[in-house]
Structure 1
Amino acid sequence: MSSDLLVVGAGILGLSHAYAAARRGLKVKVFERSATPLGASVRNFGQALVTGQPPGPMLDLAQQSRDIWGHWAQVAGLQLKRNGSYLFARTEAEEHLLEAFCAGRARAHGYNVELLQGAAMQDLYGGQFRHHRAALHGKDDRQLYSREAIPALINYLSQELKVEFHFSTLVRDVEPGHLHSTAGSFRAEQIIVCSGHDYQTLLAEAISELNPSICRLQMLRARPAIDLSLQHALLTGLSCVHYGAFADLPEAAPVRAQILRDAPHLQAHGIHLLISPTPHGELIIGDSHDYGSDPSPFNAEQVDDWLIDLAEQTLGCKIQVVERWQGVYGSRGPAPFSFLRAAPGVSAALMHSGVGMSVGPAMAERNITALWGAAS
């Protein structure tokens, strides 16, 4: 029996495309090579960041994705923290950058933010973060626990929208109208490949023209020594030279210069601190950035030590690491993402940055609209 859409990959991009199609009443099948998703979508921080996105298409997609996540939380039972994020300024240069952002770009482009300074820092979490100069509250940012959210979304798509899943199934080849897998061959009007950073199994020649690379990250899960009851994602001024909302502002140059002068190792290893609370009182902490054609399997203990030191400085308490792993995602393509029309009825949806959770749901809606028109 023929389907309307076959999706390869059950990460956030694959699930988002499946959802966008299924809610239009289309018949959808999803194929995933492992028994459960194990790629970037479950190795991340679960941060759906609006505040860090540059103005323009990425900000628009993040705002739209925020609303989709809110809907999924209702219908699929996802635990979604809606309290936003705090980006801490640790130095005068970082504080000036946040002030400039709030006075200029935030107002001009409608970022929903508030800058906390002075007495407001004393009130934040009972003064736990008063050693920072300021905190930018990104009120539109959302946060979820990916390891639980992705399976919950799969269950919703399967049970309520009747998406058919084929797990532990390797897709060997795709061609117009046909998909060939270890579970047999299938027919459909459209096939969308959402296979993450695997650039060699499917559509390798077409993808190679984008010259994409892979980014690997060192990640930690830890318990704080005190009960923080943290309900917000946390970032620091280190992220301001990484995220497009801030990185091109004139006030970012002194921040970048300060990092290069005082902590060049952070720049060399692409380290900027992110902390996400889990529903179980633990913290996901990272990350570093190492780019190449293949992710090295070897972690550097020194990088983890730097991350731990940064986390303890930011939190104002010691932490105990309970788990370590490698994050990995596709990166450094021609744009933040691509929708590649490889052949009639055969496409590939690729992320070239680590913001799939932030923009993926709306990106998929846009792609499905291009193929089938707007939902009624």
Structure 2
Amino acid sequence: MTQHHDMLIVGAGILGLSHAYAAAKRGLKVTVFERTATPLGASVRNFGQALVTGQPPGPMLELAKASRDIWGHWANVAGLQLKRNGSYLFARTEAEEHLLQAFCNGRAVEHNYNVELLRGAALRDLYGGQFSHHRVALHGLDDQQLYSREAIPALIDYLHRELGVEFHFSTLVRDIEPGRLHSTAGSFSAEQIIVCSGHDYQTLLAEPIAALNPQICRLQMLRARPRVDLNLQHALLTGLSCVHYGAFADLPEAAAVQAQILRDVPHLHDNGIHLLISPTPYGELIIGDSHHYGSDPSPFNAEQVDDWMIELAEQTLGCGIQVIERWQGVYGSKGPGPFSFLRPQPGVSVALMHTGVGMSVGPAMAERNVAQLLGEQ
């Protein structure tokens, strides 16, 4: 017997849940399908950094700002832990300092980034001088941080309990056609079906997705304990991130930073390493990451890459760390832009991220997609 709903969503990662929220808050009857017993993909393997500061001016910055407000609402209604005190990006070299200064003097003012540059006494006072070996620190005040492994289940619970979203876990969606979805839990019908299947490009709607020529990015990730009591409450980045994030990468001053990396530490460039550190609620640190691209993620990690990341982390933190867990992050990458929203058939859509900022922009991106589908202005 076919069960009828207003909207069916494939995938319970951040994009699927964000679309479910946008639809359910409008009063639609929504059902979400997830092939595993709990989400295990990019949305729980990440740093939990919802960054505004790193996004390039234009649509991505606006989506990140709007997503910031949505995360704040979810923290209140779903009870998920959310640090709203920002991030620190440390400049380790003169070139990195010049780049951050240029960003603050120009782009940050022009596009209303909420940032401040700490140096001198302000930097020495930060965490009791723990980071005073850096030249300056860019404080991104709008950046947020959450613990994805707990935040995603908390959001699922809220959607089910308060907004009536139905979930079918451990359920494979075999096929989709206009108005109908066929799964291991039965057949379902709906006016709208949205596929948010992350980096799985072959199970559903493979032909229209293949036309985008997407790739998969594989990341090496660590969880560690600092060997001193840091009580870290902010997400941390270094100047290496300036050549990775669009807010900085196209500024003229970024060329000197990139040249310095290629001259002094080419192995970091070759492996896409730019340090990110996120505190968990339990005094641990999530550390990464590297970037390797291809059509299939290799299952094999290189110990040398982990060693380089550990060395960077210890330099940045000014203390040793003890690794307690290692894993692979993974996300869809290298599409025609940062994201795609396709409508290959009537009433059938697919939402894809082609970059690793789904936590930063996904909530607002889904709000926009659902509004478009429903014909709202």
**Following the alignment from structure 1 to structure 2, what is the Cα–Cα distance between the partners of residues 59 and 69?**
15
Matched residue, 1:313: 315
Measure how far apart 1:372 and its partner are: 1.2
Measure how far apart 1:56 and its partner are: 0.2
Matched residue, 1:186: 188
Q: Deviations over 1:201-229 (max 9, x none)?
A: 00000100000000000000000001100
Q: Which amino acid aligns with 1:185?
A: S
Matched residue, 1:145: 147
Measure how far apart 1:374 and its partner are: 4.3
**Following the alignment from structure 1 to structure 2, what is the Cα–Cα distance between the partners of residues 213 and 285?**
23
Q: Deviations over 1:44-63 (max 9, x none)?
A: 00000000000000000000
* Correspondence for 2:25 among 23, 26, 30: 23
Matched residue, 1:284: 286
**Following the alignment from structure 1 to structure 2, what is the Cα–Cα distance between the partners of residues 374 and 316?**
52
Matched residue, 2:296: 294
Q: Secondary structure at the match of 1:2?
A: strand
**Following the alignment from structure 1 to structure 2, what is the Cα–Cα distance between the partners of residues 119 and 182?**
61
Matched residue, 1:95: 97
TM-score by length of 1: 0.99
**Following the alignment from structure 1 to structure 2, what is the Cα–Cα distance between the partners of residues 251 and 117?**
19
Q: Deviations over 1:261-285 (max 9, x none)?
A: 0000000000000000000000000
Q: Deviations over 1:161-204 (max 9, x none)?
A: 00000000000001100000000100000000000000000000
Q: Which amino acid aligns with 1:63?
A: K
Q: Which amino acid aligns with 2:41?
A: G
Measure how far apart 1:118 and its partner are: 1.0
**1:61 and 2:33 matched:** no
Q: Secondary structure at the match of 1:160?
A: helix
**Following the alignment from structure 2 to structure 1, what is the Cα–Cα distance between the partners of residues 344 and 19?**
17
Measure how far apart 1:343 and its partner are: 0.3
* Correspondence for 2:253 among 251, 254, 258: 251
Matched residue, 2:269: 267
Measure how far apart 1:7 and its partner are: 0.2
Q: Which stretches of structure 1, 4 residues or more, deviate above 4 A after TM superposition?
A: none
Q: Which amino acid aligns with 1:361?
A: P
Matches within 5 A, 1:349-368: 349-368=351-370
Q: Which amino acid aligns with 2:254?
A: A
What is the RMSD of the two structures over their aligned residues, measured on CA atoms?
0.7
Q: Which amino acid aligns with 2:28?
A: L
In structure 1, stretches of 5+ residues that fail to align are none
Matched residue, 2:8: 6
Q: Secondary structure at the match of 2:335?
A: coil
**Following the alignment from structure 1 to structure 2, what is the Cα–Cα distance between the partners of residues 253 and 121?**
26
* Correspondence for 1:347 among 327, 346, 349: 349
TM-score by length of 2: 0.99
Measure how far apart 1:127 and its partner are: 0.3
Matched residue, 2:229: 227
Q: Deviations over 1:56-94 (max 9, x none)?
A: 000000000000000000000010001100000000000
Measure how far apart 1:119 and its partner are: 1.1
Q: Deviations over 1:273-332 (max 9, x none)?
A: 000000000000000000000000000000000000000000000000000000000000
Closer/same/farther in 2, CA of residues 72 and 373 from structure 1, 3 Å limit: farther
**Following the alignment from structure 1 to structure 2, what is the Cα–Cα distance between the partners of residues 111 and 247?**
15
Q: Secondary structure at the match of 2:352?
A: strand
Q: Secondary structure at the match of 2:163?
A: coil
**Following the alignment from structure 2 to structure 1, what is the Cα–Cα distance between the partners of residues 163 and 374?**
17
**1:33 and 2:35 matched:** yes
Q: Which amino acid aligns with 1:167?
A: F
Q: Which amino acid aligns with 1:148?
A: E
Q: Deviations over 1:325-360 (max 9, x none)?
A: 000000000010000101000000000000000000
**Following the alignment from structure 1 to structure 2, what is the Cα–Cα distance between the partners of residues 163 and 104?**
45
Q: Which amino acid aligns with 1:344?
A: P
Measure how far apart 1:129 and its partner are: 0.2
Q: Which amino acid aligns with 1:58?
A: M
Matches within 5 A, 1:70-89: 70-89=72-91
Measure how far apart 1:373 and its partner are: 4.1
Q: Which amino acid aligns with 1:68?
A: I
**Following the alignment from structure 1 to structure 2, what is the Cα–Cα distance between the partners of residues 186 and 369?**
23
**Following the alignment from structure 1 to structure 2, what is the Cα–Cα distance between the partners of residues 210 and 258?**
34
**Following the alignment from structure 1 to structure 2, what is the Cα–Cα distance between the partners of residues 32 and 327?**
19
Q: Deviations over 1:216-243 (max 9, x none)?
A: 0000000000110000000000000000
